[in-house]
A and B are shown apart, each in its own frame.
Chain A
Amino acid sequence: MYGKGLLKSLKVTWDRFWDTYTEDISWMLRGKKRYNTVEGVAHRSSKNTRGIFTVQYPEEQLIQPEESRFIPFLVFNEGADGKKEVLCTSCGICAKVCPPQCIWIVRSNDPVTGRPVPEPTEFYIDADICMNCGFCAEYCPFDAIKMDHDFAIASYGRNIYNMQKLLKPSSYYESIRPQNFKIEEEARKAKEAAKAAKAEAAASAPAA
């Protein structure tokens, strides 16, 4: 029969249309909020999602997975009396690995000894050129540069991020990437413990 296929099509759209109401009503009856809640958004990106699928940005936001990555930042530890202990040692690996070459690092030498000082004097990332690839964070041997979660950074001008803009405390890093932070902390502690044990063994060896 001509038109049967059309009716079949319409049935699918009708079902979908119907779902939007039944879904909303069922949430209401269960006394839950489908919109503007984390639970609601999570449900909308699960396998059971039916009905309205749209996430109304900016009122609502998709749940960002931990690995989500945008422009990198530099991590510092908050030392005593508010001193920023920058983890970066200006080794230059991130500048070398960066595919569009958008990292500029100024390393300086100690005026007295002439040796390079670890902390970079200047550190720039050209945020307009950065392709958010994550290589810098992946290959930094000191966990000093990490990818951010902040994506709402559109602007009219040219964006060169300097040290001031790039530095963020490790507590912020922990808050956006708790699991990675934990793994790295554990690795660091294990390494330190191993080092201490070695030093101890070395110290006790001649005595024995």
Chain B
Amino acid sequence: MATALQTSTVDLAARFPNKAAADTRPGFTGFIVNKENLIEVATAVRDEFGYDLLTAVTAVDYIAENKMEVVYHAYKTTGGPGLTFKVQAERVDPIEVPSLINIWAGADFQEREAWDLYGIKFTGHPDLRRILMWEGYEGHPLRKDWKEPFFEEEVKPFKSRWPEGKHTFAEQKNPYRDNLNFPKDFDPENFVVEKEEDLYASLERHTTKDIEGNMKTDHIVVNMGPHHPSTHGVLRVAVTLDGETIIGLKPVMGYLHRNHDKIGERNTYLQNIPYTDRLDYFNSMSNNFGYVTTVEKLMKIPVAERAEYIRVIMAELSRVQNHLIFIGMLMNDLGTMYTPSLYAFEERELILDIFEAVSGARMMCNYYRFGGVVRDIPDDVLQKIKDLVLERIPAKTDEMERFLNENEILVARLKGIHVLNAEDAIKFSVTGPVLRASGVPYDIRRADPYSIYDRFDFDVAVRHNGDMMDNYLIRFDEIRQSLRILEQAIKQMPQGPINSQKPAYQVRVPAGEAYGRIESPKGELGFYLVSNGKPNPYRYHVRPASFVNLTAVETMCKGAKIADFVALLAMLDIVMGELDR
């Protein structure tokens, strides 16, 4: 079995007897590390075994066993399979687990998320505030005993729908006829968000004196957003400024939070596919891809040959349009209002036409199924894909480069403005184009190939300066490589069935866990699933690229000018649907 082989390369249990043990639950892999020895083992995982990239940190609530488990997935930036290790803690508050922030700084936001949603205290975390819910919120919503407003039943399908289904408005069940479930004595009129001071206290501040040392300058705190046109959605950023220079910065998120994970645990496996569309809503095809590959891993089913090619074609088309939009929107953020972005939108619209023709929707595609895809590509659509991939998009990409690359104003805004160096990028678990633009040739399609990416001939786009110009140019490189993959995929695509399974609305998923990841246009998109053999996932976790990449934003922006902040943020290519989940 592939997963068993993967972990056998590193045996933590042999290296750390009595401190770590192999996870022997059926269907599970990796190692369970003693809580007391976590720091020691994790340091060895990074320094001795070379797993420098901690991609996913999440928790699982095993309420029946009265245990909380924190799951870590570490990878090597040189490629190859990953290492999974876990710690378990008794499920009695306060649940404490040592923080790994000093080993992998990328654990920062993910640990805060686990604290927020599971109530696990990461000791040693310097800024353990809530991250998706607001300060002052009570409870930890991903715990198995927490129930959301409008709660009906533990899992779907709800029994009330059939055969006695009388329609009731969900909102009528709520005393405020609103979307919220308030505590009994709650007065919405007089509610003030508590503990906002914590946020401001977490910002770095220091006083400076002028050269003679007699005039002190004060720092000011500026809140950008949540309603700010350049934050790409409802993201708020609290910044401390010294004049125009950023000296401290904290993103505040969660304005679009809907607890995607919890919804996913109530859903059946199939019902989750359209929900993943709503994560990164620019790339629903990639999201579907990540989710179905993970479930297929758990189910151990093959994918129909033709469907593999269709999947790759759709995912790469999605990457092309994502990067075009990235370029267009970056220009908007730099002040080139609308002309470049509308040029980009033209090509995107043509690609969305294809998505609509095959899947039925332009953005919420819901196209992938376990074992294949939902329907074949009609001949006329295949012709259109060929036309775009072979003729139009290469020409338009060239035009876009002619249009922008040498433009002096653009060059002045982008060149030499530092984003991230390789060391920091790895430390902060940054993945995707931003990591590659800082000189690390790490692309999951190559490093740990999934689907059929090992069959294609393409280069991993990489640039070495780590400045904004490289971050911008690498998108063009990636479009070109995607077009190469597309060309080969179209040529090699065989005839045949498009699904290896019979259509079934209830799938059987054996008990176990799986972490599946793909190279989404924005970075590593991972799904962590735990199945207990029932029709609904026991644990459904999304590891979104935007969210984890944002961990590095403070480091990226410190010392930069506030005017560049907007463009630096644009480099991360965040999408709030995915970031807030």
Residue pair A5, B169 in contact (C-beta under 8 Å): no
Interface size of A in residues (CB-CB distance below 8 Å)? 52
Q: Which of A103-160 contact B (CB under 8 A)?
A: 103-107, 116, 122, 124, 126, 129, 131-135, 138-139, 147, 158, 160
State the CA gap A96–B165 with chains docked (Å): 12
| B17 CB-CB contact with A under 8 Å | no
Residue pair B350, A47 in contact (C-beta under 8 Å): yes
State the CA gap A103–B163 with chains docked (Å): 11
Chain-A contact segment, one of B119-127, B153-161, B233-241, B305-313:
B153-161
| A99 CB-CB contact with B under 8 Å | yes
Chain-A contact segment, one of B314-322, B358-366, B458-466, B562-570:
B358-366
**In the complex, what's the smallest C-beta–C-beta distance from A35 to chain B, in angstroms?**
17
Q: Out of B158, B164, B364, B406, name the residue touching A106 (CB < 8 Å).
A: B164
Additional pairs, 7, CB under 8 Å, beyond known A49-B350, A92-B161, A106-B165: A46-B384, A67-B360, A99-B275, A103-B161, A124-B165, A138-B503, A139-B505
**In the complex, what's the smallest C-beta–C-beta distance from B410 to chain A, in angstroms?**
8
| B387 CB-CB contact with A under 8 Å | yes
| B411 CB-CB contact with A under 8 Å | yes
State the CA gap A9–B360 with chains docked (Å): 37
Per-residue CB contact flags for chain A residues 20-44 toward chain B (1 = under 8 Å, else 0) read 0000000000000000000000000
Q: Out of B364, B384, B391, name the residue touching A132 (CB < 8 Å).
A: B364
| B191 CB-CB contact with A under 8 Å | no
Chain-A contact segment, one of B88-96, B219-227, B397-405, B442-450:
B397-405
Q: 9 closest A-B pairs (Cβ-Cβ)?
A: A104-B165, A5-B406, A107-B163, A92-B162, A69-B360, A133-B274, A47-B387, A99-B271, A65-B357
| A58 CB-CB contact with B under 8 Å | no
Collect the chain A residues with CB atoms within 8 Å of residue B375's CB.
Answer: 67
Collect the chain B residues with CB atoms within 8 Å of residue A62's CB.
Answer: 353
Residue pair B339, A131 in contact (C-beta under 8 Å): no
**In the complex, what's the smallest C-beta–C-beta distance from A5 to chain B, in angstroms?**
3
Q: Out of B161, B165, B407, name the residue touching A9 (CB < 8 Å).
A: B407
Chain B interface residue bracket vs A: 35 or more
Given the known A-B contacts A104-B161, A133-B366, A139-B505, are A99 and B360 also in contact in the complex, defined by CB atoms under 8 Å?
no
Q: Which of B405-438 contact A (CB under 8 A)?
A: 405-411
Q: Which of A57-113 contact B (CB under 8 A)?
A: 62, 64-69, 90, 92-93, 95-99, 101, 103-107
The residue of chain B having its C-beta at the shortest distance from the C-beta of A16 within the complex is: B343
Residue pair A101, B357 in contact (C-beta under 8 Å): no
Given the known A-B contacts A99-B267, A103-B161, A158-B169, are A65 and B356 also in contact in the complex, defined by CB atoms under 8 Å?
yes
Residue pair A12, B402 in contact (C-beta under 8 Å): yes
Collect the chain B residues with CB atoms within 8 Å of residue A98's CB.
Answer: 157, 161, 271
| B349 CB-CB contact with A under 8 Å | yes
Collect the chain B residues with CB atoms within 8 Å of residue A13's CB.
Answer: 339, 403
Q: Out of A47, A107, A135, A138, name the residue touching B391 (CB < 8 Å).
A: A47
Collect the chain B residues with CB atoms within 8 Å of residue A104's CB.
Answer: 160-162, 165-167
State the CA gap A95–B164 with chains docked (Å): 11
Residue pair B402, A105 in contact (C-beta under 8 Å): no
Given the known A-B contacts A9-B407, A92-B162, A107-B163, are A132 and B339 also in contact in the complex, defined by CB atoms under 8 Å?
no
| A206 CB-CB contact with B under 8 Å | no
Q: List 27 A-B contacts (CB under 8 A).
A: A4-B406, A6-B408, A8-B406, A8-B407, A9-B403, A45-B353, A47-B391, A65-B360, A68-B360, A68-B361, A92-B162, A95-B157, A96-B505, A98-B161, A99-B274, A101-B157, A103-B162, A104-B165, A104-B167, A105-B163, A107-B162, A132-B361, A133-B274, A133-B366, A134-B360, A135-B366, A138-B374
The residue of chain B having its C-beta at the shortest distance from the C-beta of A50 within the complex is: B346
State the CA gap A90–B161 with chains docked (Å): 11
Collect the chain B residues with CB atoms within 8 Å of residue A9's CB.
Answer: 403-404, 406-407
**In the complex, what's the smallest C-beta–C-beta distance from B522 to chain A, in angstroms?**
23
| B392 CB-CB contact with A under 8 Å | yes
Collect the chain A residues with CB atoms within 8 Å of residue B503's CB.
Answer: 138-139
**In the complex, what's the smallest C-beta–C-beta distance from A153 to chain B, in angstroms?**
15
| B22 CB-CB contact with A under 8 Å | no
